[in-house]
Amino acid sequence: MQVLCSKQLMHGCCSAAQARAEQLVQAAIKLPSKSRAATKSLLREQYCVDWAAYYVDEAKWGWESLVHPQTVKVLGATLARLSGGKAGAKPAGSSKL
């Protein structure tokens, strides 16, 4: 009887230790590794510095490209084709999802 109780006790301790280990592993998985975080930081840092120097010009150029009459015409035709309608047709009603 005492052996059975020792086995049960050991099983209970092992189960508790395993459950706690699994909790710790799950928590660790959610945290980025220091090396991965450091690498990302190094890679992103120079990009961010470079981008900060020209992001206003990039936005101006991007907007000018998007509102160019030929771009608007092509995008409009593409959207009409994808929606199954013809250019100039009324858009379908909104979904009731």
Domain count, the chain: 2
Which one has a higher pLDDT value, 50 or 10? Answer: 50
Residue 88 falls within a domain, yes or no? no
Which one has a higher pLDDT value, 57 or 97? Answer: 57
Q: pTM for the complete prediction?
A: 0.34
Residue 69 falls within a domain, yes or no? yes
Write down the pLDDT at residue 74.
94
Write down the pLDDT at residue 11.
58
Residue 22 falls within a domain, yes or no? yes
Q: Output the CA torsion 85→88→93→95 (10° steps).
A: 50
- Region 11-16: mean pLDDT is 72
Digit-coded pLDDT (tens) for 70-93: 999 999 999 999 998 655 556 555
Residue 91 falls within a domain, yes or no? no
DSSP state of 32: P
Residue 60: give the domain boundaries: 33-83
Residue 96 falls within a domain, yes or no? no
Q: Are residues 16 and 55 in the same domain?
A: no
